[in-house]
Amino acid sequence: MFDNTNPYTIRIEEMNGQKRYFVAFVNEQGIFRETEVSYEVYAQFCRFVKCEQNLRRSDERHLEQSELTEERRALHNYFS
Residue by residue, pLDDT tens for the chain (80 residues) are 444 566 788 999 999 999 999 999 888 898 999 999 999 999 998 888 888 777 778 777 776 666 667 666 666 666 66
Closest alpha carbon to 9 in 34, 39, 38, 43: 34
Q: Is residue 2 part of a domain?
A: no
Is 3 inside any structural domain? no
Q: Is 67 within the bounds of a domain? A: yes
Residue 1: what pLDDT? 41
pLDDT at 2: 41
The total of structural domains in the chain comes to 1
Q: For residue 46, is it within any domain?
A: yes
Give the global pTM. Answer: 0.59
Range of 26's domain?
8-79
Using the 8-state DSSP alphabet, how is residue 29 labeled? T
Res 60: pLDDT: 75
Q: Which residues of 48-79 are buried (b: 16+ CB within 10 A; e: fewer)?
A: eeeeeeeeeeeeeeeeeeeeeeeeeeeeeeee
Sign of CA dihedral 24, 29, 31, 36: negative
Structural domain includes residue 36: yes
Q: Is 53 inside a domain boundary? A: yes
